[in-house]
Amino acid sequence: MIVAHKKDSVVLLVHCKDRKGIVARVAGFIHDFGGNILDSDHHTDEETNDFLMRMEFATEGLQIPVDDIPAAFAPVAKVFDMRYEVRPLSRRTRVGILVSKQDHCLADLLQRQRRDELPIDIPLIISNHDTCASWAELFKIPFMVCPVTKETKPQQEQQVLSLLKAQQVELVVMARYMQILSADFLAQVGCPVINIHHSFLPAFIGANPYRQAYERGVKIIGATAHYATEDLDEGPIIEQDVIRIGHRDTVEDLVRKGRDLEEIVLARAVRRHIERRVLVYGRKTVVFD
Amino acid sequence: MIVAHKKDSVVLLVHCKDRKGIVARVAGFIHDFGGNILDSDHHTDEETNDFLMRMEFATEGLQIPVDDIPAAFAPVAKVFDMRYEVRPLSRRTRVGILVSKQDHCLADLLQRQRRDELPIDIPLIISNHDTCASWAELFKIPFMVCPVTKETKPQQEQQVLSLLKAQQVELVVMARYMQILSADFLAQVGCPVINIHHSFLPAFIGANPYRQAYERGVKIIGATAHYATEDLDEGPIIEQDVIRIGHRDTVEDLVRKGRDLEEIVLARAVRRHIERRVLVYGRKTVVFD
Amino acid sequence: MIVAHKKDSVVLLVHCKDRKGIVARVAGFIHDFGGNILDSDHHTDEETNDFLMRMEFATEGLQIPVDDIPAAFAPVAKVFDMRYEVRPLSRRTRVGILVSKQDHCLADLLQRQRRDELPIDIPLIISNHDTCASWAELFKIPFMVCPVTKETKPQQEQQVLSLLKAQQVELVVMARYMQILSADFLAQVGCPVINIHHSFLPAFIGANPYRQAYERGVKIIGATAHYATEDLDEGPIIEQDVIRIGHRDTVEDLVRKGRDLEEIVLARAVRRHIERRVLVYGRKTVVFD
Amino acid sequence: MIVAHKKDSVVLLVHCKDRKGIVARVAGFIHDFGGNILDSDHHTDEETNDFLMRMEFATEGLQIPVDDIPAAFAPVAKVFDMRYEVRPLSRRTRVGILVSKQDHCLADLLQRQRRDELPIDIPLIISNHDTCASWAELFKIPFMVCPVTKETKPQQEQQVLSLLKAQQVELVVMARYMQILSADFLAQVGCPVINIHHSFLPAFIGANPYRQAYERGVKIIGATAHYATEDLDEGPIIEQDVIRIGHRDTVEDLVRKGRDLEEIVLARAVRRHIERRVLVYGRKTVVFD
């Protein structure tokens, strides 16, 4: 795992309109405080003139407490009218997981976390069913069942929100939650929400994508991890991957092959998010690998 | 190339509703006439009960002229109410190519044919522009320019049809032709038409799929070879492939990366078709690899 | 899962030298006893003249008990000097798993088995360490620790053999066992052994393949599932897959990315084996997909 | 094509041992002369402490002639003991191509160059056979035949060297040249040499890799583009890619499928080299995508 290897480091994410001198100014800022830049990457969208940058620097030798960096950087940010985030990678991200009946993505995330592939804390798993309770028990993570019906959805969402906020969750992962989160929920949750959709978006939006893929006779299926937005299946895409299928594959075979994709694509998206490699702008993401 | 290796062989393609005894009966038919089965594959769609089969057998030792096989097989076909085709693989398929301004798929097909990767004859290339004339000249293939406008489309299609029919074309390949063939044309052409679409269908149907993909921010793009039908981009898919893209890729980079995909996917589809590995049923194909 | 879908079926695997009439004769045999062929595939190696075939037929309507098929088929086999196997797919394969300290392949197989992706019974897990005991406990499978040192290896192997034989294991899976099984062990075990090697064989044979790959600077790494033979890493390959890496990936990143590959490649190999889709001849396999 | 899109730009490649402040100092240097950084990427090898960086900046507004940048940068380079290169991307790289009888990689490179995918000039094609002369003629590029035998190899290499030097070639591409260049040749040529090897290195080093792959029964084959060094097939790898094969594929099928890989992998490697995205250190490369 990268984090374990490197000495302690801080990520600075920056988004502004492109102008001359940004890289030099930000690199100078870090250097002036004694930081050693370990990794830097930036991207300029030539159509929109958006400038997006990620710099990772060592905290060793830093002449300023990490918690003071945001304030110290504020004047630089003001000059370029930047949106920015400062994140020490040693601070583990608090992740709340939403799950329904299918357990494979949940089990996969829990195993990756336990073997330190994903440096996250999981204070809470919430489900509308109790099917996955044994996984929570095995990994000793609090598990809350919040059943939902069409009628009780608003109240259930408020309940879920309270639980997440009580745990100061910084990221919500929909690990095959199978419920659509309302615009209200997304507006109130106060942190990013990552969803895994079981198709190669924008193909096969909506219900039963494996059945749709089967009927269309495609030769390849996919999975897509994206940030949830109020437009269903339209959120900014973080990661996609695909697998080849053939005419012998039934819908059940597609579901089976798709499970492997869903796990891997979701895990990659979560990993990139918590390493602060993803920046959203417009309907798109920049992923600094 | 498979064909060059094997002794001369015949493919029998069969499509009917599934019943007991089809494989035994057809294998028995071939054996009774002294044929040695080199390759056999079949598929039963359990949802629709369609039975689709491909058998390839050596002509060496065959006690019946190849041209008499269809008639000899007719009684068997009648018992099972089969649609069938008998094709000696040594008989090169006559292919007419339609092309517009972009030459990469055309040039690719011509080179594959010349190095005997594709055992086809190309009696004719037709284009609505003269851009690709030099390729035709280099490979010594007749090249016809049939310009088209919205107004002249019906007449132009009749002209194209006459040219193809005069050459007894058995397959039409749209090598980035960029024109939509009318339902009339497809009804009259009398042979299959393969098109290459520059997206991972059903994503990004219609115009400018690379621009659409860029704006949606997908992480993977694709290409799709399918039989042309009157429903645009809805024909049975023969082959698809994909390539990973990133945020640094402009629309022009997608076009460039896509060209490689288009060439390869189209060539694979043509190859499978001319080796009689593809059977269409409903909106789907079975591809016997 | 295929098995759940289809009515109960039997697989007949056949290996002999190629001659005219094999397909017709075997299909006729099945048909004569009232079997309906669901799937058939065969391959002739033109260099060696080996003929390898897999036929799957429904047991419904079969006019002979499944257990009598081998004897009934013996006369046909004798004519063609065939090696053959008859296997009802409803009979779950008994699999013994060998594992060392790393748990990911074991955990993956157990989860696939529980969700009925792999129709196998696992009567026994054996390890030279107790690290994976909790997985065995969770899935309620007997777990035996057989520690091994250089000196005690012969005795330990005898102990492992006794345990496997007592459970009438039909397949042994080395789920990252990290020990080399002796030629003696392989000669006595009496069933196939599948190993997962953490490289794209034949690249990086031997110890520390991820470190080797890192130092060579390859751009892609892989994993290979193969039958274990006395020549280390030289057994017939069943399945391989790969993933792209970059210069930012440390050895630890390769290990992490490789884990996903190892799980998937091993699971595919086991699945194909238990569905009797794999035939070994010489140093190679035929895999009927 | 990236180059066409961006305003004119310059790449600065840097290699030194890692120290604090390199990014800030180099970015400051560019900024001080009025350059706008369009793209920057760097990598630190934590095991060897090598620091490798690529910065691309716009020439528009630059207050110094491009040709004076190397001298202006020299003091910075001295401080950090840097190896560096300054390259305006508008300056097309002069590429000499070596080819033998097989034409596919040559034809592919020529077509990519003509459609401006590869912003290179090709002043010369050299072959030990005259098979590819028609391609040179079609693209109006001088074509020299330099036959070679075991006995005449030293003289032939001197002849090839003279021809390349006379054209001030900056990169030599072995487009399936099938001859091993001597250590002498490589020492004298004075520019990088890219070779395409038709296997997934380090698997199947040496002659007939497709035959080797066939006999080993691998399920995936590959191609590798690397810088030629005096240790055959051991040079730093620039790019690799793979394709799945099956038991039906003969050696000829592997050759056919491999051709597509060879073209694509070689073209990608050349593209990355001429865009100055590749830095060699030790036996490895860093490729800044």
Q: Identify the pLDDT of residue C159.
A: 98
D80/D155 same-domain check: no
Residues of C in contact with A2 (CB under 8 A): 250, 252-253
Closest CA to B53 of B83, B81, B90: B83
CB contact under 8 A, B246 and D104: no
pLDDT class of D46 with cuts at 50, 70, 90: confident
pLDDT class of D52 with cuts at 50, 70, 90: very high
N-term to C-term CA, chain B: 14
Q: Identify the pLDDT of residue D66.
A: 94
- Judged against a pLDDT cut of 60, whether residue D204 lies above it is answered with yes
Last residue of a domain, one of B36, B53, B88: B88
CB contact under 8 A, C248 and D217: no
Best residue in A51, A214, A216, A219 for a mutation probing chain B (most B CBs within 10 Å): A219
- Domain total in chain D: 2
Q: Identify the pLDDT of residue B157.
A: 97
B171 Cβ neighbours under 8 A, 6+ residues apart: B93, B94, B95, B96, B120, B191, B192, B193, B194, B270, B273, B274
pLDDT tens per residue, range A209-245: 999 999 999 999 999 999 999 888 889 999 999 999 9
Pairs across C and D, CB distance < 8 A: 83
A38-56: average pLDDT: 93
pLDDT tens per residue, range C133-188: 999 999 999 999 999 999 999 999 999 999 999 999 999 999 999 999 999 999 99
Using a CB–CB cut-off of 8 Å, the residues of B that contact D are: 1-2, 4-5, 39, 104, 107, 111, 115, 117, 138, 246, 248, 250, 252-253, 256, 260, 264, 289
pLDDT tens per residue, range D253-280: 999 999 999 999 999 999 999 999 999 9
D191/D124 same-domain check: yes
CATH number at residue C80: 3.30.70.260
Closest CA to C202 of D248, D215, B256: D215
* Shortest distance, CA C180 to any CA of chain A (angstroms): 25
A163-192: average pLDDT: 97
pLDDT tens per residue, range B19-49: 999 999 999 999 999 999 998 899 999 899 9
Q: Identify the pLDDT of residue D3.
A: 39
* Shortest distance, CA A259 to any CA of chain C (angstroms): 10
Q: Which two tokens stand for residue C87?
A: 């296997």
A188/A250 same-domain check: yes
A138/A72 same-domain check: no
pLDDT class of A7 with cuts at 50, 70, 90: low
Residues of A in contact with C106 (CB under 8 A): none
Residues of A in contact with C39 (CB under 8 A): 248
Alpha helices in D58-152 (DSSP H): 69-80, 104-114, 133-138
Amino acid identity of A244?
Answer: R
Last residue of a domain, one of A35, A64, A88: A88
Last residue of a domain, one of C88, C109, C140: C88
CATH number at residue A168: 3.40.50.170
C182/C251 same-domain check: yes
Best residue in D37, D245, D286 for a mutation probing chain A (most A CBs within 10 Å): D37
CB contact under 8 A, A104 and C117: no
Residues of D in contact with B115 (CB under 8 A): 104
pLDDT class of D250 with cuts at 50, 70, 90: very high
Q: Which two tokens stand for residue B173?
A: 């390949």
C214/C230 same-domain check: yes
pLDDT, mean over chain A:
94
Q: Identify the pLDDT of residue C22.
A: 94
pLDDT class of B2 with cuts at 50, 70, 90: very low
Amino acid identity of D216?
Answer: R
pLDDT class of C7 with cuts at 50, 70, 90: low
Share of chain D above pLDDT 90, in %: 91
Helix (H) or strand (E) holding D126: strand D120-127
**Phi, psi (deg, nearest 5) at residue C146:** -120, 90
Share of chain B above pLDDT 90, in %: 91
- Judged against a pLDDT cut of 50, whether residue B214 lies above it is answered with yes
* DSSP 8-state class, residue B115: T
Active site residue C45: no
C152/C259 same-domain check: yes
CB contact under 8 A, C20 and B40: no
- Judged against a pLDDT cut of 90, whether residue B87 lies above it is answered with yes
B200/B155 same-domain check: yes
B3-27: average pLDDT: 85
C227-234: average pLDDT: 89
A33/A127 same-domain check: no
D81/D214 same-domain check: no
Model ipTM value: 0.95
**Phi, psi (deg, nearest 5) at residue A53:** -140, 145
pLDDT class of B275 with cuts at 50, 70, 90: very high
D181/D46 same-domain check: no
The answer to whether D148 touches D180, Cβ cutoff 8 Å, is: no
Share of chain A above pLDDT 90, in %: 91
Q: What 3 state SS string does A221-239 have? A: EEEEEEECCCCCCCCCEEE
D163/D229 same-domain check: yes
Domain that holds residue D52: 2-88
- Judged against a pLDDT cut of 60, whether residue C103 lies above it is answered with yes
pLDDT class of C5 with cuts at 50, 70, 90: very low
